[in-house]
């Protein structure tokens, strides 16, 4: 489904793909985002899973979704592709929030 929205074949996506670089940078980006979220939890005295999920939702909505949606509009991204990308980021924020709050 994602490849269809991208308009590419599996072979095209593998062309020039460097897994170490791609996954390494993705991990680093998620680490930074969740470290910021953890600091926000400390600053706001968030101590429950419910509070963490609530804060993660509003943080994702206000910063990630809003920013990526605007970028997607200017890049003329297909709505389905934008939806897949944003659900992915949403899940990262929620799972990260649960892990941080339990920690």
> Pick from 12, 101, 3, 13: which is nearest to 51 by CA?
101
For 65-92, write each residue's pLDDT tens digit. Answer: 999 999 999 999 999 999 999 999 999 9
For 15-32, write each residue's pLDDT tens digit. Answer: 888 989 999 999 999 999
DSSP codes, 78-93: -HHHHHHHHHHHHHHH
pLDDT recorded at residue 66: 95
pLDDT recorded at residue 94: 98
Return the H-helix or E-strand segment holding 37. Answer: helix 19-44
Cβ neighbourhood burial of 51 (10 Å; 0-12, 13-18, 19+): middle
What is the pTM (predicted TM-score) of this model? Answer: 0.85
Average pLDDT of every residue of the chain? 93
Other beta carbons within 10 angstroms of residue 52's beta carbon come to: 25
């Amino acid at each position: 489904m994602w490849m269809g929205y991208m308009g590419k074949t599996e072979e095209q996506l593998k062309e020039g793909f460097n897994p170490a670089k791609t996954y390494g940078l993705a991990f680093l980006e998620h680490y930074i985002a969740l470290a910021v979220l953890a600091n926000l939890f400390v600053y706001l005295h968030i101590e429950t899973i419910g509070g963490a999920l609530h804060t993660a939702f509003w943080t994702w909505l206000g910063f990630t979704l809003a920013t990526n949606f605007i970028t997607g509009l200017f890049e003329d991204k297909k709505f389905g592709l934008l939806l897949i990308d944003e659900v992915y980021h949403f899940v990262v924020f929620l799972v990260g929030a649960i892990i941080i709050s339990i920690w």
